[in-house]
Structure 1
Amino acid sequence: MTRLLMLDGDGIGPEIVAATRTVLEAADARHGLGLRFETAAIGFAALERHGTTLSDAVVAQALAADGVVLGPVSHNAYPPVAEGGVNPSGALRIRLDLFANIRPARTRAALPAPARTDFDLVIFRENTEGFYADRNMATGPGEVMPDPDMALALRKITRRASARIAEAAFAAAATRPAAHVTAVHKANVLRLSDGLFLEETRKVAARCPGITYDEVLVDAMAAHLVRAPERYDVIVTTNMYGDILSDLASELSGSLGVASSLNAGEARAMAQAQHGSAPDIAGQDRANPAALIGSAAMLLDWLGTRSGQARFHEAAQEIAAALDSVLAEPEARTPDLGGQGTTSGFAARLVARMGGT
């Protein structure tokens, strides 16, 4: 039995999580994955019922599960943390020690994209520290205001976090044809913090002589991704740089609406789309579920590696192939991609492509 905790989130979350569950149930029936689905309330629904957007009970459920599927959350609209407005995404990444945010971006032949050329890359973003105020202090915020006219933000970079995200990136590169890792940084200005990140990344590179390694400044990387994204294979970087660059790469590949993402640690993983909760279209059955479905496929692939069971890999590959097939049909695409398709209809068509009913 494999326990999956499904967390709806806010806005369009319940709709795209339901669509994703439909696809996972079909994969389970076809491949005998032994999936057992559990649910819990987070976000505004949990705040109304329990006084917090993420309760300790839900964290305990997530820790006990084999994997988590997290819908998008509207954390920018939450009340202060002291009033229960915890960001479930950031908190779960910390509490479950999901240090690697893995964000693939690739063009699809049938899906229009702004990029000048086809590309296939993946960004490994460190997930547990950096400039993110909710992720770099044991207690208290990572931002302070000494007086009303001054705000200070603290950035934390550690050897341990830098080393393990680098190791994850090089391990992934070893499985890809190009076998190329690019470290993105700003060590010419942030000499201590980005310098420490580069020190640890270079140590890992030295242990992997079969993998091509180079380094690029973050501002230059933004320009290079626009001009020639096909030059890159695996990109490894710190939290904020990775957040920004992955959105850029995803838009260049076609849309954030198809941008999958996996938060992975040593023992746990959480599927999560890159995009937000889009409350303006919530409840209209027109949200694009492609990114979360693709993220769930990544979760199945991770579970296959962890368990050594090929059927999880096979299910993940089948979902990914069916996703490409449905995205190739203009009439099946949701309005954000120029189509007239619905959230539920997209999932049903994808299941049909998998051979389900």
Structure 2
Amino acid sequence: MDSTHSYRLGVLSGDGIGPEIVPAAVRVMDAAVAAAGAPPIEWVPLPVGAAAIDTHGSSLPPKTVETLAELDGWLLGPHDSASYPEPHRSQLNPSGALRKHFDLYANIRPAKSFDDRGIDLVVVRENTEGFYADRSTYRGTGEFMPTPDVAIAMGIFTRPAIERIAREAFELARRRRNHVTVVHKANVLRTSTGFFLDICREIAAAYPEVEVDDFHIDAMTVHLVRRAPAFDVVVTENMFGDILSDLAGELAGSLGIAPSINSSTERAMAQAAHGSAPDIAGRDLANPTAMIGSGAMLLDWLGRRYDDQRALEAAVLIEKGLSATISQGTRTRDLGGTAGTAEFGAAVASSIGSP
């Protein structure tokens, strides 16, 4: 793909702080693409979340999904599905629905500190099955109640899903520090997470230059707290990955700095790892770093998919802009500063070269 390639990206602002942090990410991405000499991004706003329920009768309108299938990728703001009216509250939330519909099997969640903590790791989370019941079946969910007094949840583990997420982790480790840690609970869940561990070890044979170790999920939480800088790439099943990535993000400084991307080989969705924070919504207090960092990850994914060096350069410019802005003292309140959401986003864009 030549460097004149232009991208059409969806903008789904979401709920809570979404309409504040997503525009900040758009502004920074525009600045980075311009500074890298790439064509401007064509942004396609699409309805989602509570606002879409009001206007379209659905938190994820069919037209939104149809349009996303035609785009190169998209930004998704956080959702506050717990506050949706029924029947929308009981349905699969917009994020889960999009991950499932587009088979976005890899949830890549970096945790990198902007201070002297020395944390720089990535949780590679299998995104389509495991212990998350909303993604474990073709129709319906993996949770059910055979009687009013019994609730059952299924955990699904399949060879194809484990193999592809393991390869994702090992390929990422090759670009980083050649170290993969597999997290499981094979001492108790021998058939399911033991299967996950065994297949990861099988895939490891094709990557002899990558060091491999493994820990039980409970022990891994302790190791993260004690020595997070020792880890590079951590690969695990869906629920374990969700929990560990939140812990790692907070250890790195704040969930407000925890970006993520959900991807397949064909599509990618940039989405901050944190929630919608309705308690501070509309008050210009939210930290947009995670959303901005997720935008950088999307540009990096596009650059790798299309062999687009300018997209890759734009992603690096965003990462440098975030680091420079924070190190120079412009920080939101969760990082000990006073900057508002819009002010912080403008500062990052300016550091990159915003007009």
Q: TM-score, normalised by structure 2?
A: 0.95
- Give the secondary-structure state (helix, strand or coil) at the position aligned to 1:263: strand
**What is residue 168 of structure 1 aligned with on the other side?**
168
The CA deviation string for residues 147-196 of structure 1, in whole angstroms up to 9 with x for no partner, is 222211111111111000000000011111x3011100001111111122
Mapped contact 2:92–2:134 kept (Cα < 8 A): no
Shifted more, 252-261 versus 139-148: the winner is: 139-148
CA offset at residue 309 of structure 1? 1.2
- Give the secondary-structure state (helix, strand or coil) at the position aligned to 1:17: helix
**What is residue 149 of structure 1 aligned with on the other side?**
149
Distance 1:212 1:86 in 2: 38
Mapped contact 1:27–1:33 kept (Cα < 8 A): no
Distance 2:87 2:238 in 1: 21
The CA deviation string for residues 285-316 of structure 1, in whole angstroms up to 9 with x for no partner, is 12111100001001001100011110011111
1:75 and 2:81 matched:
yes
**What is residue 308 of structure 1 aligned with on the other side?**
307
**What is residue 352 of structure 2 aligned with on the other side?**
354
CA offset at residue 109 of structure 1? 2.5
Distance 2:134 2:246 in 1: 21
Distance 1:67 1:109 in 2: 31
**What is residue 19 of structure 1 aligned with on the other side?**
24
Distance 1:15 1:73 in 2: 13
Cα 1:17–1:248 change in 2 (3 A) is same
- Give the secondary-structure state (helix, strand or coil) at the position aligned to 2:69: helix
1:33 and 2:42 matched:
no
Taking only aligned residues, the RMSD between alpha carbons, in angstroms, comes to 1.5
User: Percent identity at matched positions?
Assistant: 51
1:135 and 2:135 matched:
yes
Moved over 3 A (4+): 79-86
Code of the aligned partner of 1:16: I
The CA deviation string for residues 253-295 of structure 1, in whole angstroms up to 9 with x for no partner, is 1110101111111111111001110111111112111100001
Q: For structure 1, which runs of at least 5 residues remain unmatched after alignment?
A: 111-116
**What is residue 114 of structure 1 aligned with on the other side?**
none
- Give the secondary-structure state (helix, strand or coil) at the position aligned to 1:64: coil
CA offset at residue 84 of structure 1? 7.8
Code of the aligned partner of 1:262: I
Mapped contact 2:28–2:345 kept (Cα < 8 A): yes
Cα 1:323–1:198 change in 2 (3 A) is same
CA offset at residue 229 of structure 1? 1.3
CA offset at residue 82 of structure 1? 6.3
Aligned ranges 1:1-357 → 2 under 5 Å: 1-30=6-35, 31-80=37-86, 85-109=91-115, 117-176=117-176, 178-330=177-329, 332-357=330-355
Figure out how many residues of one structure are paired with residues of the other and give that number.
349
The CA deviation string for residues 103-159 of structure 1, in whole angstroms up to 9 with x for no partner, is 11122226xxxxxx5221111000011121210111122211222222111111111
Q: TM-score, normalised by structure 1?
A: 0.94
CA offset at residue 318 of structure 1? 0.5
